[in-house]
C-alpha cells in the first residue's frame, strides 16, 4: 500500500530516509539534519514522500512561489523514485497527490522544469495532464 505524506519538521526521519535511500541512488547529496531542518523551515518549501509499507520509495521537492499578480504557483523542482520501484506508478501517485494539494490551496498552475531528453519524466508529467511548451527545451544553470 502506498502512503503519501507531506513532511514537516516532525518528519525529519522520512526526509533523511528519502535522501539516503532514493536520491543517493542517482546523485550525491548532503542529507544532514541541519540542511534538512533549514529547508523544512523555509517558507513555501515543500517535501513529500511516498512510502510503500513502511519504507520511503519516492520523494518530491516543490516550492510555493508568490507572484506579483497574486496568482501563486507551485514549482515541482525534483522527484525521485528508487530504481527498484520505477515504472510501477508510484511517482504518478505522488505527483497526483501534490497536484491535488496545490489545487486545494488555490494554486492553478504548476511549473515543472525538465528536459525533452528525460523521456521518463516527460511521460510522467504528461500522464497527469501536463503539457510541454513548444520549442522550449533550454534550461540555464549558473554555478556561483
Domain limits of the chain? 2-127
What is the reported pLDDT for 142? 67
pTM, whole model, 2 decimals?
0.89
**Arithmetic mean of pLDDT, 111-140:** 84
Average pLDDT, the chain: 90
137's grid cell: 527545451
With pLDDT > 90 as the criterion, what percentage of the chain qualifies? 70
Q: How distant, in Å, are the alpha carbons of 44, 49, 65, 80 from that of 21?
A: 25, 12, 28, 10
- The CATH superfamily of 2-127 is Gcn5-related N-acetyltransferase (GNAT) (3.40.630.30)
Q: How far apart are CA 35 and CA 93, in angstroms?
A: 27
Q: How confident is the model at residue 52 (pLDDT cuts 50, 70, 90)?
A: very high
Amino acid at each position: 500500500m502506498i502512503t503519501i505524506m507531506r513532511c514537516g519538521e516532525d518528519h525529519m526521519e522520512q526526509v533523511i530516509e528519502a535522501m539516503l535511500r532514493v536520491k543517493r541512488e542517482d546523485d550525491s547529496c548532503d542529507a544532514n539534519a541541519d540542511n534538512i531542518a533549514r529547508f523544512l523551515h523555509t517558507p513555501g518549501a515543500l517535501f513529500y514522500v511516498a512510502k510503500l509499507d513502511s519504507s520511503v520509495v519516492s520523494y518530491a521537492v516543490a516550492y510555493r512561489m508568490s507572484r506579483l499578480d497574486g496568482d501563486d504557483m507551485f514549482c515541482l523542482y525534483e522527484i525521485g523514485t528508487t530504481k527498484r520501484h520505477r515504472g510501477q506508478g508510484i511517482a504518478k501517485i505522488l505527483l497526483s497527490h501534490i497536484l491535488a494539494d496545490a489545487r486545494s490551496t488555490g494554486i492553478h498552475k504548476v511549473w515543472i522544469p525538465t528536459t525533452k531528453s528525460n523521456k521518463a519524466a516527460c511521460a510522467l508529467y504528461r500522464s497527469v495532464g501536463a503539457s510541454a511548451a513548444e520549442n522550449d527545451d533550454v534550461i540555464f544553470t549558473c554555478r556561483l
